[in-house]
Amino acid sequence: MTRTLRIVSILLLAAAVAVVTVPMAGDAHGKGTIKVATQSPLSGGQAALGEGIKLGAQLAIDKLKGPLEKAGWKVELVPFDDQAKPDVGVANAKNIIADKDIMVVIGHLNSGVAIPSSEVYKEQTLAMISPANTNPTVTDRKLPNVSRVCGRDDVQGVVGSEFAKGQNAKSVYVIHDKTAYGQGIADFFKADAEKKGLKVIGFEGTEEKSNFDPILTPIKAKNPDLIYFGGIYDQGAPFFKQAREKGLKSKFMGPDGMDSSDLTKIAGKAVVGMYYTSAAGPASALPKAKSFVDEFKKKFSKNPEPYAAEAYDATAIALKAVEAAAKSGKVTREDVSAQIRKVKHSGITGDIEFDGKGDRKKALYFVLQVANEDPTKWGDNKIVKQLTIAPPAEKK
Amino acid sequence: MRGARVIRRPLVAIPLSVLLLIVSGAAVASFPRSVLAFLLFQGAILFIYLAAMPGYLRAALLAVALLVMMPIIGAYNVYYLEIATQVGIFAALALGLNIVVGLAGLLDLGYVAFFAVGAYSWAIFGSPHANQIFGGGFPLAPGWFYLFIFVGLAVAALAGVLLGLPVLRLHGDYLAIVTLGFGEVIRVLANNLDKPINFTNGPKGITPINRPPVPFGLPYAEYSYFLVLLIVLVVIVVNRRLEDSHIGRAWEAIREDQVAAQAMGVPLVRAKLLAFACGASFAGVMGVVFAAKQVFINPESFTFLESIGVLAMVILGGMGSIPGAVLGATIVTVLNLQVLKGLSLWLNELKNAGVVILGYPLADLPTQLEPAKYERMIFGVILVVMMIFRPQGFLPARRRQREIEVTAEEHKTVTV
Amino acid sequence: MDVELLIGILPQVVIDGLILGFMYALIALGYTMVYGVLEFINFAHSEVFIFGAFVGVEIMLGLKSAGVLERFPWILVLVVVLLAGMLASALLAFTIERVAYRPLRHAPRLIPLISAIGVSFFLQDVIRLTESIWRNAFNLVYPTIESLNVRLEITETIDVSIKSLVVIVAALLMLWALHALVNRTKVGTAIRAVAEDQAAASLMGINVNRIISLTFVIGGAMGGAAGVLFGVQYGLINPYTGFIPGLKAFTAAVLGGIGNIPGAMLGGLVLGLLEAFAASYLSLLTGGAFGAEYKDIFAFSILILILIFRPKGLLGEVVRERA
Amino acid sequence: MLRLDDVHVAYGEIPALKGVALEVREGEIVALLGNNGAGKTTTLRTISGLLVPMRGALTLDNQPLAGVPPHEIVRRGIAHVPEGRRIFNRLTVRENLTMGAYTRSDTVVIAGDLERVLTLFPRLQERITQVAGTLSGGEQQMLAIGRALMARPRLLLLDEPSMGLAPVLVEQIFETVRDINRQGTTILLVEQNAAMALAVAQRGYVIETGAIVLSGTAAELADNPEVRRAYLGE
Amino acid sequence: MLFAAKGITKRFGGLTAVKDVDFTLEGGIAAIIGPNGAGKTTLFNVFTGLYTPDGGEVKLDEHSLIGLRPDEITALGVCRTFQNIRLFKAMTAIENVLVGMHARVELGLWDVLARGPRFRAVEGEAWRTARTLLERVGLGRQLHTEARHLPYGDQRRLELARALASKPRLLLLDEPTAGMTGSEARQLMGLLRGFVADSGLGIVLIEHNMRVVMEVSDRVTVLDHGEKIAEGTPREVQTNARVIEAYLGRRGAHSAAP
């Protein structure tokens, strides 16, 4: 006990000295600092996607902070690791609202973290712009501070089934990854496909990441016209690859989680000709998207992950809103939240404008087809269809 | 050496404790965002716990720190209140697991399953979700929350017994792997029971979950802190009473030597089941509180890693030790939510401020080396180093003398 | 219910299950070797395993960028990569034992377990850090070797790829080699002696520490080989990939009777088959009410049932508790 | 050749040996007598390196042994047949015997030694491929001794070789012990069957609660009334 | 008849550890002797339910003990000590004794949590009894010493106290004097006689110290190779030729017979 006590005392002394001597970095100059926080998993199994969000935001800040800096503000990015865990996300959220300089949060990756965390932001009407949470609940709560630049599960599922119908697919097999995102889209795809008269001959979820053989065996026996995978490319790519290796001839389709050059890097020629839906246009068709990809590659020497573009747009909107709020000379969180809803932004993922709930008013969706097995030619993917769809009307 | 002995003297320790409390409180008030200041405050609490002083004084000082100062600190910085609340939640979990692993010596790698059971029991009925199962009439009014604390307790305890009945005959690592399997089964069930009947809403989770009505117009964060604190206190009292009874002694006996314990008349299966049920019930209660606090739950909160985290708390603190479990929960939670985060934020600030270290501007640090990304790695190193240099934990269980005092008094009153 | 379909896919399901089972068996060997000798769950084995996969992919990528990958016969490439993966994982396992476990040899059982968990966390992120600096990537893709992807058609609906056969052959070879090493050589006998009674073994002049190191080296090498084969078979790895297969393999080891080499094999196969059956048939049998998502529940439930009736696993000895 | 001087050993904080002093000379059989719990086994475990003395001197041919790991002590020529035999139950008889010769690599000589042990214990020859756990108590004892002999020890430590054996077998074992000694191996024998032990030994020590209380030639001890009462049951 | 075992047989694999042994006790102190490995401890393990015999019947007051769990047997009134001392090492002396009382504590979970007067009365009584027991075996000063810090002889005494705490009618002691000096052993024997006299407790002991056996026991049973080879008063057994041969060795027999 004595020894423990001694150690505790020494540590206490050290802490006390440090508190007094280590000054917290205070606001240095000008009108002060505006901080943009990101919250996404930076460690653990989903770190790659989480980092994409952080990097997208970082690129946007570096590129677009000019006007604010000219006006005398210092603009900084504060990345938080939410570890994809709700309790960590909430603690971070409390930490974020305690930092008065943080005016907006870009995040999260997981709806499971976003929902409880946004309850915390709400207390101070701190704006959160989500690049990735497609779960309808995120905006259906009608919080004044929560908006999202990504689509909704219900919309994207519908885009998919609409297209599948047009492709003359009579039977479809739906697989999803058992996450809120993947299953959400798959559910809506299935429901809408059935409504449109397509035959859904299988609907299954799996957390498996590597070995899809046992799942593919019955699919092969049932031989559907189209297989829809609701999930992210790192699971979808091995799935499709193994499916082709196993000799399946069906058409493949997936949501925007498949929109990554890594899809072809992993699955190679297996996914050539596959369809995916996306709100972000391909680089070849949209010059903005092309320059984003180029700049991203130049800065971070890799291709942007899914949601990096959304994070970029979200940050751009955030900065615009802050600029608008800053015109009064003083930036408040309520102001920024309110301004975000007024921003009209023409971003990489199309024209963005929010409705009263924080959803995109009308979103332009693309259906794209993978053109080449070479990952560096991901940008060549062709738009095979464009759809403009508004978020679903309020249900009671 | 001499310094330590001086601290053991109440005359030095008491004023020092008070001083520390005041200084740390003042530090948090003047630097509300300083991680170190809050650490100083936590250290002061630990110091009070360890330093020599009369029991009532210690209790009074701790009460001042936890009941008065902590909520005030929370008013300066809600984040710290959140940390304190989460410390409380994990402390209760660690105390529950401490009964199973620390006292009864049964390795449980799926403990978080009971937490999940408790959380879902309130989440389903305390949200509109139950309408999908029963047709209508939900959510239950917020006041039901208090009843559900006991429902969570009962359901989790029942789950503990149901798991325990078939598997408690297994030894050591076989028991561990079965509990691990059970934990996974519960999580996967939660993830999948959205069809054929939608019980859990699968990965999409359940929201909004009702929060209990808050008395006296307290802010919710404060209320939630007090509620958790109250539950932790109850759990500690229950834990201590169990520990200082024939039940607790039977558990320890089983841990030390199962065969001898049985030969001395301890019914193994019943005692182990009781340990499982008690441990599980604490987790169940905290699950209910957690669900209400988060407003939203989904299966991601109940992964295997969470079970491992709680186990690490118990062992870091010192197996079988109540203060150890609380300290372990504090260390892991504070480390994870505060210290490591604080460190990476600090580095980030240095980077943004353009600090140059050894001629290398931090701003040029490649994004791969973002400090926030390696918190878990540091945590891993700390675990290994701790185990090597202090395997018995920070506050190992020690045989207590306090029963003597109790019974000595008893002795007098009865014999007179 | 389409009975014809159910029966029609049965052979393919069995093949799928066997391949998966051999994969589990290979990983399980590492757990079982260490457990057999030290009665200690080496939680970091899943990282030892995935480390082998990373070394393998690095070498293959290196060969590919040097343009020689296609020019060498695939067998040669595979053997080189396997050996490198085994060596690397063996070294890693050896180091882990020296640094994180040996100082805790005489501590209560749970202490090294926590240390192992710490090592596991540490290694995951070290691999990630290194890969993100070196390749700026999180997921790494094994280069395809075309000849390995060829599928042999057994019937019109049933086929098996060369790489799956490679997994089976390699697994059988390694199991045989390990079995021979442990049962037919002096060093193997020493390993078994140390497993049974460390004090008595030291009285024979056996350096117990050295044998324990050797056990980690062998277990690590098996893990490394499994890692490379895993990469070749499934193509995609990231620093956290090892965790789930590691957990399953550990379950397989327990199922078969932990500490028992044929048991690891049997446990792996049983688990692999169970998973394959669940993933393929659950949806068909229940008309879609339950699907592949229940395969882990199914596998774990069977595990619990088996352990209730055979508390020491399928091949484990039931050792009587002596009073 | 072996000398213990004021050796203290403790299990945790409980002292087990409190200053044991004894000596074994080249070629002798020395008996160490005492009740259960007196410290006989602890003494042997200390000599073979399984326990490390807190203080005191422990030497083999004037070379210090304290702190030397057990596997090294075997190389120096001490083999220990531990209490309860501690054979490897899951190994075959042959494997058990080869483990005895673990430190040696001269295959030809080892094969010869195996022959020698099997001639000494013909029963083992019959069971050579059997798993040791299935042997009877007597056979296990033979195996334990045979295994120790495979190391070609100069000094053999025997802990209760008669334990659990039928009288006929006890006779036989002690006969063998004598044989082994005649072939040049020095023996330190711990035995509960005091009569038997004193019959084969040249000298003996009596240990009680961790200290030597009596010593002398076998005949002296056998005639000592105290010994006769305590250990010979009179 | 207080305790009666009939035809006990116990096999381990191919080894028959105990073969068709009868053993009865009406009261007083009985000793079981025999060379190491003769099957004495196995017999104890059968009596206390740790082993299920392959054949035979064990009865305490006409209650069959076969098939009961060890804790149930203890609750019925049979308790024991172990040859290799199995104390709860990290627990204090008095806690060890309190565990021994487990079967006699009639408190539910609620009593423990509520700490009502009932709990305090029962718990206080338990502590008093435990203290008295420890004082009686001579550990009155070591109440709060952890068992592992006690010397060997004290550990034996503590184990005895722990066994007595369950208020047994039959006490089985496995080598109670091992590791004790002569005078300590004598003292212990006096103590045992005292317990028998006070409470009519029956004691069976396995013992190697012949002096102790001869002094203290009313009857002696001799086992060899799992079989009972003799039974009777100490004197009878001491002069039994078969016993001398088996237990003391043939040479012992020569030198023992002047």
B336-391: pLDDT as tens digits: 888 888 888 888 888 877 777 777 777 777 777 777 677 788 889 988 998 898 88
Average pLDDT across chain B, whole number? 86
Instruction: Let me know whether D215 and D181 are in one domain.
Output: yes
Confidence of residue A26 (pLDDT cuts 50, 70, 90): very low
pLDDT tens, residue by residue, C64-103: 998 888 888 888 999 999 999 999 999 999 999 999 999 9
**pLDDT value at position A93?**
93
Cα–Cα distance for residue pair D116/B145, rounded to 1 Å: 81
Q: Is the pLDDT of residue B4 over 60?
A: no
Determine whether the interchain pair B250/E146 forms a contact, defined as Cβ–Cβ distance below 8 Å.
no
- Predicted confidence band of residue B70 (pLDDT cuts 50, 70, 90): very high
With a cut of 70, say whether residue B320 has pLDDT above it: yes
Among A18-22, B168-172, E249-253, where is mean pLDDT lowest? E249-253
D62 and D105 both lie in a single domain: no
Residues in chain D within 8 Å Cβ distance of C181: none
Q: Give B55's pLDDT tier (boundaries 50, 70, 90).
A: confident
Average pLDDT estimate for E51-66:
91
Domain boundary among D152, D174, D190: D152
Q: What are the beta bridge partners of residue E63?
A: E60
Phi, psi of C245, deg, nearest 5: -60, -35
- Is D66 in the same domain as D113? no
Helix (H, G, I), strand (E, B) or coil at A133: coil
Selected residues 270-299 of chain C with any CB under 8 Å from a CB in chain A = 275-281, 283-284, 288, 291-293, 295-296
Residues D38, D48: one domain? yes
**H-only helix segments in chain E:** 40-47, 70-76, 93-100, 109-114, 117-136, 152-164, 182-199, 210-216, 234-239, 241-243, 250-256
User: Residue D4: pLDDT above 70?
Assistant: yes
- Residues A259, A264, A268: CA angle, nearest 5 degrees: 155
Question: Would residue D234 count as lying in a domain?
Answer: no
**Cα of C155 vs its chain's centroid, Å:** 30
Mutate which: E12, E41, E208, E243, vs D, most D CBs within 10 A: E208
Q: Given this chain, do its domains A32-151+285-361 and A154-278+366-389 carry the same CATH topology?
A: yes
- DSSP β-ladder status, A146-148 and A127-130: parallel
pLDDT computed for residue E246 by the predictor: 65
- Contact: D151, C204; criterion CB under 8 Å: yes
> Looking at the partner chain, which of C39, C110, C300 has a beta carbon nearest the beta carbon of B185?
C300
Q: Could you tell me which of A92, A95, A104, A96 has the C-alpha nearest to residue A65?
A: A104
The radius of gyration computed from the CA coordinates of chain E, to the nearest angstrom, equals: 19
Instruction: Give the model's pLDDT for residue B403.
Output: 38
User: pLDDT at position E255, please?
Assistant: 38
With CA atoms as reference, report the closest residue to E155 among E170, E136, E177: E177
CB contact under 8 A, A238 and C16: no
Confidence of residue B189 (pLDDT cuts 50, 70, 90): very high
pLDDT at B77 over 80: yes
Q: Do B252 and E88 touch (CB under 8 A)?
A: yes
B 390-409: CB under 8 A from E: 399, 401, 403-404, 407
Q: pLDDT category, E44, cuts 50, 70, 90?
A: very high
CB B119 within 8 A of CB B111: no
Instruction: Tell me E35's DSSP state.
Output: S
pLDDT at D221 over 50: yes
> In chain C, whose CA is at the least distance from the CA of B188?
C297
pLDDT tens for E133-156 read 999 999 999 898 888 888 878 898
Contact C139 A48 (CB under 8 A): yes
* DSSP3 helix / strand / coil % (chain C, rounded to 5): 75, 5, 25
If residue D82 lies in a helix (H) or strand (E), which one and from where to where? none
The Cα–Cα gap between B184 and B179 comes to 9
The 10s digit of each residue's pLDDT in A284-310 is 667 788 888 889 989 888 888 888 888
Name the residue type at position B163. Answer: L
Tell me which architecture the domain covering A32-151+285-361 has in CATH.
3-Layer(aba) Sandwich (3.40)
Per-residue pLDDT tens for A222-261?
899 999 999 988 899 999 999 998 889 999 999 988 888 8
The pLDDT tens digits of the residues spanning C126-136 come to: 998 898 888 88
Q: Cβ of E140 under 8 Å from any chain B Cβ?
A: no
With a pLDDT cut of 70, the percent of chain D lying above it is 96
CATH-assigned architecture of domain A154-278+366-389? 3-Layer(aba) Sandwich (3.40)
Looking at residues A34-54, what average pLDDT do you find? 88
Please tell me which chains touch C, using 3 or more CB pairs under 8 Å as the contact test.
A, B, D, E
Whether residues D139 and D55 fall in one domain: no
Distance CA C316, CA E25 (A): 41
Cβ atoms of B336 and B411 within 8 Å: the answer is no
pLDDT at residue B306 greater than cutoff 70? yes
Give the whole-angstrom CA distance, residue A222 versus residue C275.
Answer: 20
Q: At what angle do helices D137-149 and D107-120 cross, to 10 degrees?
A: 150
Q: Name the closest residue on chain D to residue E226, using Cα atoms.
A: D164
**Ramachandran assignment for D49, one of left (phi > 0), alpha (psi -120 to 50 degrees), beta (any other):** left
Domain with D64 in it: 1-77+153-229
Distance CA B308, CA B286 (A): 17
Residue A139 DSSP label:
H
Question: By mean pLDDT, which of C164-168, C306-310, D91-95 is the weakest?
Answer: C306-310
| Domain co-membership, D41 together with D72 | yes
pLDDT of B62 above 60: yes
**The pLDDT value given to residue B3:** 44
CATH number of E1-77+168-258: 3.40.50.300
Question: Is C139's CB within 8 Å of A234's CB?
Answer: yes
CATH T-level fold of C3-309: ABC transporter involved in vitamin B12 uptake, BtuC (1.10.3470)
Average pLDDT over residues D92-119: 91
Lowest mean pLDDT among A14-23, C42-51, D96-105, E186-195: A14-23
Do residue D23 and residue D107 come from a single domain?
no
Residue A25, pLDDT > 70, answer no
SS3 at position C293: helix
The arithmetic mean of pLDDT across residues B99-124, rounded, is 93
Predicted confidence (pLDDT) per residue in A167-223, tens digit: 888 899 999 998 888 898 999 999 999 999 999 999 999 988 889 989 999 999 889
Task: Decide if pLDDT at C322 tops 70.
Answer: no
The DSSP secondary structure of D123-142, one letter per residue, reads HHHHTTTSBGGGS-HHHHHH
C-alpha distances in Å from residue C13, one per residue of A35, B266, C6, C274, E17: 55, 49, 10, 10, 51
Kindly state whether A393 is in contact with chain B, defined as any CB-CB distance less than 8 angstroms: no
Alpha carbon distance B312, B97 (integer Å): 10
pLDDT in tens, B127-170: 988 888 888 777 888 889 999 999 999 999 999 999 888 888 88
Q: Domain locations in chain C?
A: 3-309
In tens, the pLDDT along D35-86 reads: 777 888 899 999 999 999 998 999 999 999 988 999 999 999 999 999 878 8
pLDDT in tens, A135-164: 888 888 889 999 998 888 888 888 888 888
Whether this model's ipTM surpasses 0.95 comes out as no
Q: What is the DSSP string of B31-55?
A: STT-HHHHHHHHHHHHHHHHS---H
Q: Which residue has better confidence, E33 or C323?
A: E33
pLDDT at D234 over 60: no
Please state the pTM of the whole predicted model: 0.89
E45 with C320: Cβ contact below 8 A: no
> Hey, of C125, C138, C153, which one would you mutate to test binding to chain A, going by the most A CBs within 10 A of its CB?
C138
Nearest residue of chain E to residue B397 (CA atoms): E90
Provide the 3-class DSSP secondary structure of residue B303: coil
Chains D and B touch (3+ CB pairs under 8 A): no
pLDDT at A27 over 60: no
Instruction: State pLDDT tens for residues B382-413.
Output: 889 988 988 888 888 765 443 333 333 333 33
- Is pLDDT of B238 > 90? yes
Are both D92 and D128 inside the same structural domain?
Answer: yes
Number of domains composing chain D: 2
Higher pLDDT pick, E106 / C206: C206
Chain C residues touching residue A247 (CB < 8 angstroms): 151, 159
Query: Do the Cβ atoms of C202 and D50 come within 8 Å?
Result: yes
Q: Where are the domains of chain E?
A: 1-77+168-258, 91-165
Asked if C117 lies within 8 A of B192 by C-beta distance, the reply is no
Point out the least confidently predicted range of B286-290, C19-23, C144-148.
C144-148
